[in-house]
Structure 1
Amino acid sequence: MPNQKVFFRVSLEAMASGVPVLTGNRASLPEVVGDAGIMINPYDVDAIADSLIRLIEDSTLRSRLRVKGLERVQLFSWDITAERTLAILNQVSQK
């Protein structure tokens, strides 16, 4: 299995660029992409083909995923990561 860290970064970069995401439903990818992309079994060739055709033919779907992706990627900013990390460290240090 390819390195999942690489794939979630690629998904985030695609969403940040306004590109609709088609990704596997494995590891952390569903958590990262959420409802801002299409998730399929990465070993199901028919599902991959069908989803690609949907993305090519359905401009409404592409538009919706583009907007959702741009919104979703904001959850993964360095500022938010730093704030959450600090909150956890503060919580732990008070125990």
Structure 2
Amino acid sequence: VKTDNVYPIGFVPLEDMPALYSSAEAFVYPSLYEGFGLPVLEAMSCETPVVTSNRSSLPEVAGEAAVLVNPLSADEIAVGIKTAMKDRAILTRKGLVQAQKFSWDKTAKETLAVYNQALLLNNGK
């Protein structure tokens, strides 16, 4: 396996993450389980094509803006990386749109709406 262009890294401070994502050819995230998958959206926001798992919450979070692979298959991951390189422009464009669907502002507004609805229902009892 050729790994000349793969760089394992340790801890990266939060403020350095956008530069790291932006300098990557692809963000490969073969997670076996994710509660949400924020790193996928972070990479998309930095215009980095994403290869991620076809499991857990990741297909919903990534939508059609990432290459989905079986995280237990090295062959699928390798093909996914090649696909991400080939389709970089379209994945980058779709990724920016997908990431905007999950903004903190939108999340806060939707959460507040749920709380307000719960208060209305509770006050009616």
| TM-score normalised according to structure 2 size | 0.67
Q: Give ranges in structure 1 of 5+ residues lacking alignment.
A: none
Alpha-carbon offset, residue 55 of structure 1: 2.4
1:77 is matched with 103
Cα distance in 2, alignment partners of residues 67 and 2 from structure 1 = 26
Report the 3-state secondary structure (helix = DSSP H, G, I; strand = E; otherwise coil) of the residue aligned with 1:35.
Answer: coil
2:74 is matched with 45
- RMSD (Å), alpha carbons: 1.7
- Return the structure number with greater helix share: 1
1:14 is matched with 43
Alpha-carbon offset, residue 93 of structure 1: 1.1
* Aligned partner letter, 1:13: E
Q: Give ranges in structure 2 of 5+ residues lacking alignment.
A: 1-30
- Highest RCO, 1 vs 2 (Cα 8 Å, sep ≥ 6): 1
* Aligned partner letter, 2:53: G
Q: What's the CA shift string for 1:59-86, capped at 9, x where partnerless?
A: xx11111011001111111110111011
Query: What is the number of residues matched between the two proteins?
Result: 91
Q: What's the CA shift string for 1:14-42, capped at 9, x where partnerless?
A: 10000011000111111111111011110
Cα distance in 2, alignment partners of residues 79 and 90 from structure 1 = 16
Alpha-carbon offset, residue 2 of structure 1: 6.0
- Is 2:38 aligned against 1:4? no
| TM-score normalised according to structure 1 size | 0.86
